[in-house]
Structures are given as structure tokens and as C-alpha cells.
Amino acid sequence: MTDETTYRAERPVDRAAVLDVHTRAFGDHGPKVARMLTALDESDAALPGLSIVAERDREVVGHVMLTRSLLDAPKRLVDVLVLSPLGVLPELQGRGVGSALVRHAIAAAGGDWPLLFLEGDPGYYSRLGFEAGGGHGFRRPSLRIPEPAFQVVKLPAYESWMTGTLVYAEAFWRHDCVGLRD
């Protein structure tokens, strides 16, 4: 395997490899994450061009997906993005593939979206521009998400009145992929 990684929009032919990446990347939780990803992809939360793969030697080695969710703001509901899942084959983790996927995802979000949320390790995501959501007037969709893990990056279409509670797309709930369980 070479060290050259390319990044591009996912194609239908990539689906089996993408599911394999997440199954392997998430260990015991991999099958559940793969089922959630399939449900997201089949829902109206999926958006063209916002599912990105990392490829080496014509093999998919990583994947990230941005999906539509809602922010329940005082003025009105606002369409926002959620970054999830992000997965890289275990043997390539820690080599910058995941970080590059996140940067490509932020760039792909472009100027049409106001906010991009995720739940994850603040030590990892803060260096990619994410900040704790609670400090910006956002509320987590579940108390099972540790406050520091609930993160956001403001995108060009953001306006200061856009505060409130994040409401995940239904597939996250149906597959119990919100927050931490005991």
C-alpha cells in the first residue's frame, strides 16, 4: 500500500467497502454503526456529495458522512449538518487520514450551511476547528453526550440568532448511536 491518499465523493460502488471500514474501525460497535450509516443513506438526511471516502491504491480506507439535522432555534427550525460517522481502517489510524477527511468534509459543506455538529474527542476535533457547543448557546440532543464531546464549527451561513437544541436525524436514534451507554 502506498502512502498517497486521495479524497473524493463516495460512489455507489464504494458502499460495501465503506461499510467494511466502519465495521472494522468501530470494533464491537462496528455493525451498529454500519446499520446506522445505511439508514442515514436511505433517508432524507443524506445529501449528495457530502459522503467522502479516502482511497489508497484504489481501496477505500476511510470515510466520513455529513447529514442533515435540525437546530431548534427560538426563531425557527434551522437545517444544520452533523458529521458522523468518521471511520478509518485500524491499520491506518493515527496517520492523518481521519483529519484529512474532516477537513474535506468541512470544505464540502461550503457556504450554504450555518453549522456543523459532532460528538467526539475534543482533543482530536479542537485542532480541526471544532469548539464546545455549549459555550456558543447550543444544547446537546441527549444528556448521554458528555458536554465536552458536543462540538460545533460555525460555517459561513451562520447568524448569531442561531442558537438552541440540536435535533439529530431519526436514524441516529433508531440505531441507538447517540451519546454513551453504561
Is the pTM for the entire model greater than 0.85? yes
Among 108, 20, 1, smallest CA distance to 63 is for 20
- CA distance between the termini of the chain: 39
pLDDT (tens digit per residue) in 113-131: 999 999 999 999 999 999 9
- Domains in the chain, CATH or no CATH each: 6-174 (3.40.630.30)
- Confidence tier at 181 by pLDDT (50, 70, 90): confident
Q: Under DSSP, is residue 112 helix (H, G, I), strand (E, B) or coil? A: coil
Nearest to 169 by CA among 73, 71, 76, 101: 71
What mean pLDDT do residues 89-101 have?
A: 97
Q: What are phi and psi of 43, to 5 degrees?
A: -105, 175
Percent of the chain with pLDDT over 90: 96
Whether 1 has a pLDDT exceeding 90, the answer reads: no
CB 54 within 8 A of CB 62: yes
Please, what's the b/e burial string for 50-71 (b: 16 or more CB within 10 A of its CB; e: otherwise)? bbbbbbbeeebbbbbbbbbbbb
- 7-45: pLDDT as tens digits: 999 999 999 999 999 999 999 999 999 999 999 999 999
Within 10 angstroms of residue 79's Cβ, the number of other Cβ atoms is 14
Nearest-angstrom CA–CA distance, 72 and 63: 28
On the 0-12 / 13-18 / 19+ scale of CB atoms within 10 A, 28 is exposed
- Per-residue confidence (pLDDT) for residue 6, from 0 to 100: 97
Give the C-alpha separation, 171 to 36, whole Å. 6
